[in-house]
Amino acid sequence: MLYDLHELQRTFLMPLVSFTGQGSQLFTHPYSPLSYTPVSRHIAATYELMHRLGKAYEKPEWDIDHTVIDGKKIPVEPQSVKERPFCKLIHFKRQEPADRNLPTVLLVAPLSGHHATLLRDTVKSFLPAHEVYITDWIDARMVSLRDGPFHLHDYVNYIRDFLHYLGPGAHVVSVCQPTVPVLGAVSLMAADSDPCLPVSMTLMGGPIDARESPTQVNRLATTQSHSWFENNLIHRVPAKYPGAGRRVYPGFLQHAGFIAMNPDRHMESHYDFYLDLVKGDDDDAESHRRFYDEYNAVLDMPAEFYLDTIDIVFQQHLLPRGCWDVQGERVDPGKIKGVHLLTIEGELDDISGQGQTHAAHELCTAIPAKHKHRYTAAGSGHYGIFSGRRWRNVIYPELAQFIANARPAS
């Protein structure tokens, strides 16, 4: 019912969104006489702010059409190379001579509200010196009920499947939420002596052990019962979508949660955007648009996956306790051998607290100390460890050097 009411609200807002969008153009277009009135910028700024607050945000494009190698622009084309019901494996294919022997990197994007395009900056950094693949998760409202449910163990199986597709010698990098299923997948592959075991595994800002330095996110997960999450956050997709009837954690509820974590910061950001429009500061205004075009674009998560994550990762802590079974097989990171391990945390991360990701080192007991590295990014928050200036100038060079130094087990 709540999902249907949300869709009804969007329908009612459509005329207002259209009116404010056109009104903003009317008071800014150089051929419009209204754009030269004394208060045109104030009116246009008000219209655009209302338009952006009311509009629906669709999945952004990758907007990656080239990279720069040795000072030359090399065309890049994102291609879907393997498709599963809930995910596409995207390869950023470069047009260049095929004799470059570059490390293959699987970037595992989070399935936690935002689209994989949130890692656009991460992809761009890797492209010049790596063969880049990324998991592009599909909005659950677009997946038919005929494709069945999607659990946390399915996420683990998808990662194993993608690593098998890439073959021996790949490097896997997980950002935020997928650190747990990635560690699970690599653990199971190690137990099976899988030849496609990755050369290196990088875990960035994720809840390997959510008992360490609990954040507001962790406290919410532990102060409510499992049934509370199921009864209050899970809804069925309305009939207008291909996934009609599927139980999901809707994107609009997730977005409301994101905003509620830092409401003052978002209000200030929107007010600054209004002032930038009035002043004619186009660069800062465009920066605001780009950020919120990405931030406001959210997807529905499969209910089974979300509830599994709450139960297994945040309430029972099965992985660090050594009690996690995936389809009857025990996940034991202590069996991982021949894999180089890097964990990255942000000093100011308010989503995955200090020590939650580094906890992987205590679990991977068979990896020798010389092949285990931990890095804490000073002054970096959660998003800063995979995007922005600090990521590009400080964190990525550390990660790239780690991958370059990692060697397959002999």
Name the domain boundary from 295, 313, 328: 295
Residues 6+ apart with CB under 8 A from 297: 57, 58, 59, 60, 114, 115, 117
CA distances from 84 to 42, 81, 87, 244, 360 (A): 48, 10, 5, 19, 29
Query: CA 122 to CA 43: how far, in whole Å?
Result: 37
> Residue 214: its pLDDT value, please?
87
Q: How far apart are CA 268 and CA 272, in angstroms?
A: 6
Per the structure, the count of domains in the chain is 2
Q: Is residue 243 part of a domain?
A: no
**Segment 332-382, tens digit of pLDDT:** 999 999 999 999 999 999 889 999 999 999 999 999 999 999 999 999 999
Is pLDDT at 99 greater than 60 in this prediction? Answer: no
Rounded Cα–Cα distance for residues 306 and 206 (Å): 15
% of the chain residues with pLDDT over 90 = 65
The confidence score (pLDDT) of residue 378 equals 94
337 and 212, same structural domain? yes
Mean pLDDT of 258-268: 81
CA distance 151 to 41: 50
Task: Return the higher-pLDDT residue of 109 and 260.
Answer: 109
| pLDDT at 250 (0 to 100) | 93
Q: What is the DSSP string of 33-97?
A: GGGGSTTHHHHHHHHHHHHHHHS--PPPP----EEEETTEEEEEEEEEEEEETTEEEEEEEE-S-
What per-residue confidence (pLDDT) applies to 95? 85
Q: Do 195 and 344 belong to one domain? A: yes
**Nearest of 205, 173, 208, 167 to residue 189 by alpha carbon:** 167
Pairing of strands 247-249, 235-236: antiparallel
Asked if residue 48 and residue 75 are part of one domain, the reply reads no
Is residue 217 domain-shared with residue 88, that is, in the same domain?
Answer: yes
* CATH code for position 324: 3.40.50.1820
Structural domain containing residue 20:
2-56+251-295
Query: What pLDDT, in 10s, does the model give residues 186-222?
Result: 999 999 999 999 999 999 999 999 999 988 888 888 8
Asked if residue 23 and residue 147 are part of one domain, the reply reads no
For residue 410, the model assigns a pLDDT of 63
Q: Are residues 93 and 112 in the same domain?
A: yes
Q: Give the span between the Cα atoms of 133 and 162, in whole angstroms.
A: 9
pLDDT band for position 97 (cuts 50, 70, 90):
low
Q: What is the pLDDT of residues 245-261, one digit of tens each?
A: 999 999 988 877 777 77
Q: Report CA 121 to chain centroid distance, whole Å.
A: 11
- Alpha-carbon distance 204 to 285, whole Å? 30
